[in-house]
Amino acid sequence: MKRVKIAVLLICVFLVSSVVAQQKLVIGFTVSKTGALNVDSLEQYRGFELWRDQTNAAGGIKAGGKSYQIELVNYDDESNSKRVQQLYTRMILQDKADFLFSPYSSSLTATAAVVTEQYGKIMLTSGAAEGKTYTLGNHFLYQMFAPGAEYFKGALDMLKAKDPKATVAFVYEDASFSVSVVNPAKDYAKQIGFNVGFSEAYPPNTTDFSAIIDKVISSKATVLLGGGHYADGSTLARQLEGHKVPLKMITLLVAPDSPQWVELGDAGLGVIVPSQWEPQVAFKAQYGPSGADFAKAYTAKYNTPPSYESAGGYACGLILQRAIEQAGGTDTAKVSAALNATDIVTFYGRTRFATEANQHGLQVGHAMILAQWQKDKTGKLVKQVVWPLAAKSADLKYPIH
């Protein structure tokens, strides 16, 4: 009799433990492992990875009495929108992803959004600042990055304080992200009284900027704002240096935030980048790790400091995790409601989503930072925060030459 009781007890324990056993949460996204976006996309991917590793190590996401182990499913989209469509469809239909993260870049994200909306799945977007995607009438998109219209405002305000008579030139990639940044910036520049001497968009994948640089020189512009992503931004900076263009300030999108920027040497010195996050800016985190802890863990794992793409990626995971906890489960409608109600400060800054139908999911809580590459006392190139003034780690160097 005693043996039967032990057997029954063991069976009960076994049954109970399998009920409390780990559930799986599948999150799908594509990474641009190859193609022009590979540098920036990898940094975003590492943010996702670090979040997954830390959360799973702590027992997974705990909601509604269950705990979920995160499984990341990803494919190489080759920086190509057709692949994005095929792969997101595949992840939803065949890999049975519960939630999606975006690819890197506004254009690829807009493509992915079509698929996730068609199938009614929640997608958190990072690495995608363009605001137009959120005006198309979506239900399940959530943007982590501050929208494009914010990017150059700080740079222009800073410039106005230093040199209100500057002639401004815009040289930017003809793609959704850069266009969404430059168009509002042009209006703002004129509004605060700048002379916009020259403005031209170059086709994506341009490698020869000499014609456009010649035009910048003839326009006698002293300040240049623009760029796009790492490949074109770094090439543009190199060629500006090669042509010895006499600019007092250069602000480029995305590219200068990558740790790889140091490879440019002198061509990269003095360049400013509008950033979604920098390690020097310390927010008081109401949820998740502090900025210092995040940077430390990231550097320890990848031997390189985090860029704002990595921070955005990690923050995507954090915000989704919190929403699942608040919703008590992974049901799309409940998690969506939880995301709509989100208004919280993490190491990344404040996160709040617009909930009106005509701009659902647009990021309205997050503010931009400006960082500039300067030489430290040892002559090494380091990124310093120069704006907002309350958070700066060094003074703006103007002019740069």
Partner 1 sequence: MIDGLLVGAVYGLAAMGLSLIWGVMDVINLTHGAMIALGMFGMYLFFTATAANPYVLLLPILAIGLLLGILVYWMAVHWVLGRSQLMSLLSTFSVNMMVIGIGTALWSTSPYNVNFTLKGITVGAYTFTGNHIAAACSALIIALLLELFLYRTRMGRAIRAVADNREAAELMGISSTAVLAIAFGIGIALALGSGALVSTLFPFTILSGAIYQLKSFVVTVLAGLGKPLGALAAGVLLGLLEGAVTPFIAVSWIPLIEFGLFVVVLILFPRGIFGRATA
Partner 2 sequence: MIFKRPSFWLTFLLAAVFVYLPLRANDAALREDLILVAVAIILVSNLNLMIGYTGYVNFGHIVFYGLGGYVGLYLVSVRGWHLPSAAVAAGIFVSICALLFGLGVLRLRGAYFALATVGILVAVHAFVSNFDPWGRSTGMYLPFEAYEPLGGAMHALWVTYYLVIAVMTLSMILSLVIKRSKFGLGLFAIREDEDAAVVLGINATVYKAIIYSVSAFLPAVAGALMFYKNGMIDPSIAFEYMLSIEGIVMLMLGGQGTVIGAAMGAGLYERLRSYLLTSPRLSNFHLVIAGGLLLVVVLFASSGLIGWLYKFVPRSREVIE
- Judged by the rule CB under 8 A, the positions of this chain that interact with partner 1 are 33-36, 38, 78-79, 174, 200-203, 206-208, 210-212, 214-215, 217-218, 231, 235, 242-244, 246
How many CB atoms are located within 10 Å of the residue 323 CB?
24
The whole-angstrom separation of Cα 102 and Cα 128 is 8
176 binds, among partner 2, partner 1, none (CB under 5 to 8 A by kind): partner 2
Between 201 and 240, how does the x/- string for binding to partner 2 read (CB under 8 A)?
A: x-xx------------------------------------
> What character string, x for contact with partner 2 (CB under 8 A) and - otherwise, covers 181-200?
--------------------
Q: Which stretch binds partner 2 (CB under 8 A): 38-46, 111-119, 189-197, 373-381?
A: 111-119
Between CA 143 and CA 151 the distance in angstroms is: 15
Burial 250-284 (b: 16+ CB within 10 A, else e): bbbbbbbbbbbbeebeebbbbbbbbbbbbbbbeee
| 286 DSSP assignment | S
Residue 114 binds to partner 2 (criterion: CB under 8 A): yes
90 binds, among partner 1, partner 2, none (CB under 5 to 8 A by kind): partner 2
Q: Identify which of residues 214 and 395 has a Cβ nearer to partner 1 in the complex.
A: 214
Residue with smaller CB distance to partner 2, 116 or 372: 116
Residue 23 forms beta bridges with which residues? 68
Q: Which of 125, 176, 359, 384 binds partner 2 (CB under 8 A)?
A: 176
Instruction: Name the token pair of 54.
Output: 């830390």
Using the minimum distance from each CB to partner 2, give the nearer residue, 206 or 304.
206
Class of residue 296 by CB neighbours under 10 A (exposed 0-12, middle 13-18, buried 19+): middle
Instruction: Kindly state whether residue 94 participates in binding partner 2, applying the rule CB under 8 A.
Output: yes
Which value, in Å, is the radius of gyration of the alpha carbons in the chain? 23
How many residues bind partner 2 (CB under 8 A)? The answer is: 30
Per CB under 8 A, the list member of 115, 182, 212, 213 interacting with partner 2 is 115
**Structure tokens belonging to residue 375:** 């030489």
C-beta closer to partner 1: residue 59 or 246:
246
| 217 interacts with, out of partner 1, partner 2, none, CB within 5 to 8 A per kind | partner 1
Binder among 41, 138, 251, 351 for partner 2 (CB under 8 A): 138
Q: Which of 27, 50, 61, 110 binds partner 2 (CB under 8 A)?
A: 110
Query: Residue 278, SS3?
Result: coil
DSSP of 100-144: EE--SSHHHHHHHHHHHHHTT--EEE-S---SGGGGS--SSEEE-
Report cis status (omega within 30 of 0) of the bond before 388.
yes
254-283 positions binding partner 2, by CB under 8 A: none
Q: Determine which residue in the list 71, 174, 200, 325 makes contact with partner 2, applying CB under 8 A.
A: 174
Q: Which does 89 bind (CB under 5 to 8 A by kind): partner 2, partner 1, none?
A: partner 2
Token look-up 């960082």 returns: 371
Residue 206 touches which of partner 2, partner 1, none (Cβ within 5-8 Å per kind): partner 1
Name the token pair of 216.
Answer: 């910048």
Q: How far apart are CA 401 and CA 248, in angstroms?
A: 6
| Residue closest to 270 by CA, chosen among 363, 378, 372 | 372
* HSE-CB for 119 with a 13 A CA cutoff: 20
